[in-house]
Amino acid sequence: MSKDRWTEILGYLADAATDVDLDPDAKRRLESPSKVLEVSVPVRMDDGSLEVFTGWRVHHDTTRGPGKGGIRFHPDVDVREVTALAAEMTFKTAVMNLPFGGAKGGVRCDPTLLSLGELERLTRRYTWEIMPLLGPDRDVPAPDVNTDGRVMAWLMDTVSMARGEAITSSVTGKPLAIGGTAEHAGGTAAGVVMCTRDVFEELGLPIVGRRAVVQGFGKVGGPLAFLLHSAGMRVVAVSDVRGAVTNEGGLDVAGLSDYAALHGTVAGYPGGEPIDAADVFGVECELVIPAALDGAIDADVARRIGAQVIVEAANGPTTAEGDAVLHDRGIVVVPDILANAGGVTSSYFEWAQNRQGIAWLDGVAAERLHHTMHDAFAEVWAFSQTHKLSLRRAAYAIAVERVGEAMSVRGLFP
């Protein structure tokens, strides 16, 4: 996360406040997180030594419902990053019209250097420290960077043991054995493809045969490449942190996936020509999907992008300066708070099923995800066309208006 991402979020908020004539008091409330909890996380390491990590859980705003947002383990995470991510969740859940607010958490650590036992002890102690904020009606975490269903299971078990009851709805992205859902893992990628179909349709571009570039080949980018290929697109370039490959005729996505699983990278895949990972955005195509970490598309990269459309699968992949360049070039950008919201929408469905105590029939969640994503895209597209705004600015305007309305009807305590 770029260190000025919080400043960028405040800029998007200021623009949106102007676009919808937001009450100044609501704007002032949204300019500061409602809760910031910093915790010390002592962990007994396998060799008997003690390490003390620092963690955070931030509630940006919970006017519309419990806090919702992932937990990331990363050596560079800090409170400013977590605050920015929490704010993005406030606006993401609002643009999707979900009954959640925005939250985010993180621990500054390098999980690749931890054993499985150390990772579990870190997770459980961090959960214990942020326990006052957690609960199905308070704050519902989910996986994020370097966390997964296993970590969520430890988190859910820690909350349940502390409170003396099984609380499956205290977290989403869990394993199926403890109330998780099959649809959750692929929700983000599925939502990105739905937005891709919708934006191509609005622009009058047939999706079959069009060229796509995917930056990032992890738990979102990997499934995305497969789904785009299945939709009839040619995936002409893919990158990860170690390199990139390109093939004008289209990469064999299944073969690439097998190769990456075996070698831990797409670099060196024999079915494509090697290129530098930094050059992947310059590959000529119709669609670019940034699906890695934030800040990948700055002003310099934005000037080199050879696509007509960008659909943001990652959180904050485009800087404010890069976004301005893309807008000036006429490149259509479907923003992250809309495009990658299939993940949090699938989380909502998991949470709802846990609260109801009954699993939905097969296909129900997928159908509801389709309708929810399509309706949200249609609202944002219509707002952008009516008010002559970019899709990003339109999405923030809709989100800010909804949060502002909730603040207005709830009033201010005391």
Distance between CA 202 and CA 100 in Å, rounded? 29
Residue 306: Cβ within 10 Å count:
14
Superfamily assignment of 33-167 in CATH?
A: Leucine Dehydrogenase, chain A, domain 1 (3.40.50.10860)
Q: Which residue has the tokens 């000025």?
A: 4
- Tens digits of per-residue pLDDT, 203-236? 999 999 999 999 999 889 999 999 999 999 999 9
Q: What is the pLDDT of residues 233-252, one digit of tens each?
A: 999 999 998 999 999 999 99
Three-state secondary-structure class, residue 40: strand
Report the C-alpha gap between 38 and 17 in whole angstroms.
Answer: 30
What's residue 182's pLDDT? 87
Residue type at position 361: L
Which parts of the chain register pLDDT below 50?
1-2
**What residues are labeled active site?**
104
Q: Is the pTM higher than 0.85?
A: yes
Instruction: Provide the pLDDT for residue 2.
Output: 46
How far is the CA of 265 from the CAs of 203, 241, 271, 363, in angstroms? 34, 8, 14, 33
Burial track 170-208 (b if 16+ CB lie within 10 A, e otherwise): bbbbbeeebbbbebbbbbbbbbbbbbbbbbbeeeeeebe
**What pLDDT sits at residue 217?**
94
Class for the domain spanning 187-334: alpha beta
Where are the domains positioned within the chain? 33-167, 187-334
Cβ(214)–Cβ(291) below 8 Å: yes
Q: What is the pLDDT of residues 130-152, one digit of tens each?
A: 999 999 999 999 999 999 999 99
| Contact between residue 286 and residue 307 where contact means Cβ atoms under 8 Å apart | yes
Q: What is the pLDDT, as a whole number, of residue 306?
A: 87
One-letter amino acid at 93 equals T
Q: So what's the pLDDT on residue 1? A: 43
**Fold: same for 33-167 and 187-334:** yes
